[in-house]
A and B are shown apart, each in its own frame.
Chain A
Amino acid sequence: MPLVNWFKRKFVVIAGLLTLAFLLLPNVVVTVFSFNKPKGRFNYAWQQFSTDAWKDPCGVSGLCGSLSLSLQIAFWATLGATALGTMIAFALVRYRFRARGAVSSLIFLPMAMPEVVMAASLLTLFLNMGAQLGFWTILIAHIMFCLSFVVTAVKARVMSMDPRLEQAAQDLYAGPLQTFLRVTLPIAAPGIAAGALLAFALSFDDFIITNFNAGSTVTFPMFVWGSAQRGTPVQINVIGTAMFLVAVLIVLTSMVINNRRNKQKA
């Protein structure tokens, strides 16, 4: 029974790797089909190898425009949500104030709410106010739902920070502003960065809330959605693959740099 025993010992590893394969399979398909040359309007069945789409990623009208719009919105949403969220996180961890419970629930609720509900109610508000749907309404919505995630990320970091560090700075002649700039902020930076990264990813990839509140403006996810109805250009896969590669590359580089730094220290 050595095979059975081997399987027993390796069960977790095998099951885990199968799940990992399940997670990565679509990315493999996206990559492979970015080299496809489909016959019809849809890129769902393999026809023949081609690099046409890679040579002309912006060849579909509206695609690169929507991509750049999504990047802009994600940038501003990240900036806004990170600033507001960091302030809230500091208030929550470092101060006592009235209505703490209410503040906490108001931050928790957007994360515990299905996106359609927030999307629909926000649209109701915009319609009632007679707001022009477009860039600004999308940005407002994105900052709103990214905020809670930033608060959670920054809060975790600030909470694990030893308050004695700030006291030590004060003890060493740093006034409140100096203490914040020279000690608090640099130490909280990884948490703020994590929150910002999360906000960027959430905003860039958001579809449901954007779809409700965009009016006739088209972000990248909305472009993909529309093309699923009208016909999927191969360029979508090119952009998806490129995003995946860039992300993995950035993470791997930062890991290598970290490793090297750790080795130098040791």
Chain B
Amino acid sequence: MATLTEAPPPLAPTAPQAEPPRRRGRWTPYWLLLPGMLWLLVFFALPMIYQASTSVQTGSLEEGYKVTWHFATYWDALADYWPQFLRSVLYAAAATVLCLVLGYPLAYLIAFRAGRWRNLIMVLVIAPFFTSFLIRTLAWKTILSDGGPVVGALNTLHVLDVTSWLGWTAGDRVLATPLAVVCGLTYNFLPFMILPLYTSLERIDGRLHEAAGDLYARPVTTFRKVTFPLSMPGVVSGTLLTFIPASGDYVNAELLGSTDTRMIGNVIQTQFLRVLDYPTAAALSFILMAAILFMVTFYIRRSGTEDLV
């Protein structure tokens, strides 16, 4: 506090009239920012503008494209691909919820109960990262393969009857169904949920649990009234870090799904790289971006944690 009132940061703006020659650092921040910002402007922001312009162009590959402000591309794209959009949101939301449900106990375990195993478990959570995620996703093909032990067990327990009735699986297959895609998404983005959860749980003073217990809260109440609210920043950033990449993903849908589980990422990829219908692909990707930004802003406002990064 003393530093706040008495000693502002050393390079706080000083009164312009007192500017001795040695304060030559006035331009330093701009020089430091310049290369990186240029990079982001040219290779992140500028492409967005190009894409916006592409999305309102008409023409063909042979004759070239011209900007004709053809906004109908957006309507056509939405009309044609709304099921994939819906699916992307549903799958990503399901995977996010699953990640939260699965990830919270593990993050809690590492933060409060792991003791001397804490570092080892942390290593085991991060280590799979170092094997290419495509290889690991392919492994799910083996795990969920028809007639494999997992599917066999689910069949014996009649779980597949229920999930098939719900439309999540098809007959006695798991592979090439929505369940497999959601499972792959959950698996792939789980660490992105666990790490922020762990970070915010770890900051919680363990004595708060004791205090809550001392004040007549049962363990479940303690969790509901103390631990969970205090871990909200981790929950918010974890869900964002899971939902955003999951909604744009097309790898899991491609490797573990079928044509009936195609997500919007698959469509964009196909339009761009195979069909070469650039305006439609650009429009789709713009709609996805807008939808995500809208949802994220709304979500951050609602959860009241605006200082995530």
Contact = CB atoms under 8 A, between A and B. Distances in A.
- Mutual binders A and B: yes
Interface of A: 11-13, 15-17, 19-20, 22-27, 29-30, 33, 44-45, 84-85, 87-88, 90-91, 94-97, 103-104, 106-118, 120-125, 127-128, 140-141, 143-144, 147, 151-152, 163, 166-167, 176, 201, 204-205, 207-208, 211-212, 220-221, 224-225, 228, 232, 236-237, 239-241, 243-244, 246-248, 251-252, 255
A120 B130 contact: no
A26 B143 contact: yes
A5 B29 CA distance: 60
Contact of B190 (A23, A113, A123): A23
Interface residues of B, number: 88
B258 interface: no
B228 to A, nearest CB: 13
Contacts of B154: none
Contacts, number: 261
A112 B48 CA distance: 14
B288 A23 contact: no
B1 interface: no
B51 interface: yes
A87 B143 contact: no
A110 B133 contact: no
B305 interface: no
B85 interface: no
B148 to A, nearest CB: 8
Interface string B49-60: 011001000000
Given A23-B125, A96-B11, A201-B129, A84 B248 contact: no
Task: State the majority secondary structure of interface residues on A.
Answer: helix
B131 A120 contact: no
Given A24-B128, A252-B123, A107 B40 contact: yes
B105 interface: yes
Contacts of B286: 117
Task: State the majority secondary structure of interface residues on B.
Answer: helix
B90 interface: no
B211 interface: no
B309 A111 contact: yes
A247 B124 CA distance: 10
A116 B268 CA distance: 8
Contacts of A201: 129-130
Given A87-B35, A114-B288, A116-B288, A26 B46 contact: no
